[in-house]
Amino acid sequence: MEKFEPYIAGRQVDLADAAETPLVNPASCEVWGVSLVSTRAASQAIDAAVEAMESEAWRGLPLQERANAMRRLAQLAEAHAAEFTRLESLVTGKLAKATLGEGAHVAETLNYFAGQADALSGRLVELAPTTEGKVIHEPVGVVVGITPFNGSLSLGIWKVAPALAMGNAIVLKPPSAAPGSSILLAKLAAEAGFPPGVLSVVPGEAEVAELLVDDPRVALVSFTGSTGVARKVGARVTGRLGRFVCETGGKSPQIVFADADLDRAADGVSQGIFSNAGQSCIAGSRLLVEESVAEEFLRKLDERVARVRTGEMSDPESTMGPLASERQYARVTGYLERALGEGAELRAQGEVPAGPGYFVTPTVLIDRARSTTAWRTELSLIHISEPTRRS
């Protein structure tokens, strides 16, 4: 049984209030680990970040040395690519072959922003014939990064790398059910030579997030997740005059016109929704097809749905894995039932393996009125299709 604890480099973490979250393999429903969640640890992480921002070890680190530390972390990420792949696949349901590039993605992002740190410099601006102004770049301070279950590593590094490059300290909060890859990243950062408190990880849910975003010592919160939660988090942060940036959900349409290569379009539409079992903010979960080719195109899509092989993440024959959790499974199947009750037509369904696991059959629905809740709501896996006239 693996155990994942909040990580604050250089500190003994206070876990007196820790609660356990079981980590469940979404393909087998077996518990393989436990995640410890602690609000005390979250408060400690901010304390450590504030101290790091005030320390000469981080504040006084030359830009070149900061960039070199990022490059060392990039090398370590590549060396631990297999472990990143394992951890991401176990908590998200992503196919192992789809997560093989996670370590390389982390390294590429770190190396890119290390280059930005190298190039960081001030400049003089002429304000008047006898007056010049100097523009300098300073870190904003303590940053909090909040990541979702379906990409805590890939989305987390987009928050961590620029924060480190600009000299900030960052506290990363992945979901309690997806802590492993973020904690591994923080441990590798310590190994790469980053001072204590510069990068900490505190897994958790609402209670931990609220403590982090409400703390007046946090200068900026970067959030990735649902639009509804983003509004709430943004209101809390900006209400205390903090800075807030966010990336929220989507309901992305895929559009097919009559002059398209229908075979290639069907391949793209299938990949666009069934990749990662649709658990992506850029999943193409709505489909608009020009009426004159709608039936021909949908027949081609039916064929591709039938070829989707849903299975265990490490199985090389699998082309779609399970949903990440029981909660996701209940949500998706609930919306499917609701859509059928609201008048959607079932066009096509694939198959799922017998036995345990949070597997949902790949599904195509027709919603001619474009009025069902599933049509309007960001939702993994459910593919809503609608023949459309071209004006």
pLDDT in tens, 131-166: 999 998 899 999 999 999 988 999 999 999 999 999
- Same structural domain, 217 and 263: no
Catalytic residue among 5, 102, 281, 386: 281
pLDDT per residue as tens digits for the range 366-385: 988 788 888 888 765 444 44
- Shared domain check, 219 and 262: no
pLDDT at 387: 47
SS (H, E, C) 17-76: CCEEEEEECCCCCCEEEEEEECHHHHHHHHHHHHHHHHCHHHHCCCHHHHHHHHHHHHHH
The rounded mean pLDDT for the chain is: 92
> DSSP H helical segments within 60-176, as ranges?
63-79, 81-92, 96-99, 102-119, 152-165
Closest to 377 measured CA to CA, from 230, 247, 228:
228
Q: Are residues 214 and 360 in the same domain?
A: no
Indicate the helix (H) or strand (E) that contains 131. strand 131-135
Query: What's the pLDDT score for residue 383?
Result: 45
Shared-domain flag, residues 101 and 236: yes
CA 153, chain centre distance (Å): 7
How large is the average pLDDT for residues 348-373?
87
Residue 169 predicted with pLDDT over 70: yes
- Total domains present in the chain: 2
Final residue of a domain: which of 214, 247, 280? 247
At 391 the pLDDT is 45
Segment 265-281 mean pLDDT: 90
Is 281 designated active site? yes
Buried b (16+ CB within 10 A) or exposed e, 292-309: ebbeebbebbbebbeebe
Query: Which residue of the set 51, 83, 205, 247 is catalytic?
Result: 247
Where among 229, 247, 265 does a domain terminate?
A: 247
Asked if 233 and 283 sit in the same domain, the reply is no
Residue 360's pLDDT band, with cuts at 50, 70 and 90, is very high
Residue 315 has what pLDDT? Answer: 93
Looking at the structure, do residues 90 and 164 belong to the same domain, yes or no? yes
Under 8 Å between Cβ of 161 and 113: yes
Q: How far apart are CA 219 and CA 139, in angstroms?
A: 10
Residue 386 pLDDT greater than 60, yes or no: no
Q: Which of 64, 82, 68, 69 is nearest to 9 (CA)?
A: 69
For residue 285, with 0-12 CB atoms within 10 Å meaning exposed, 13-18 middle and 19 or more buried, which class applies?
buried
Provide φ and ψ at 285, rounded to 5°.
-90, 0
Q: Could you tell me the CA-to-CA distances from 325 to 24, 26, 49, 177, 356 in Å, in that order?
A: 8, 6, 32, 9, 12
247 is catalytic: yes
Query: What φ, ψ does residue 202 adopt, rounded to 5°?
Result: -130, 95
Check whether residue 220 and residue 320 sit in a common domain: no
Among 197, 214, 247, the domain-final residue is: 247
Domain co-membership, 145 together with 257: no
Q: Can you give the CATH number for the domain in which 371 is found?
A: 3.40.309.10
**pTM of the entire predicted model:** 0.92
Q: Could you list the residue range(s) of the whole structural domain that residue 34 is in?
A: 2-119+136-247
The CATH number linked to 173 is 3.40.605.10
Same domain for 113 and 75, yes or no, is: yes
CB 378 within 8 A of CB 251: yes
Same domain, 163 and 29: yes
Q: Quick: pLDDT tens for 76-101.
A: 999 999 999 999 999 999 999 989 99
Is residue 127 domain-resident? no
Structure confidence by residue, pLDDT tens digits, 172-216: 999 999 999 999 999 999 999 999 999 999 999 999 999 999 999
Closest to 76 measured CA to CA, from 191, 167, 237: 191
- Which pLDDT band, with edges at 50, 70 and 90, does 242 fall under? very high
Residue 126 lies in a domain: no
In a domain, 107, yes or no: yes
pLDDT (tens digit, 9 = 90+) per residue, 292-306?
999 999 999 999 999
Other Cβ atoms less than 10 A from the Cβ of 105: the count is 17
Q: How many CB atoms lie within 10 A of CB 137?
A: 11
Residue pLDDT, tens place only, 47-69: 999 999 999 999 999 999 999 99
Residue 9 has pLDDT above 70, yes or no: yes
> What pLDDT does residue 313 have?
94
Three-class secondary structure of residue 6 per DSSP? coil
Are residues 37 and 162 both part of a single domain? yes
Q: What is the pLDDT of residue 379?
A: 67
**Co-location of 243 and 257 in the same domain:** no
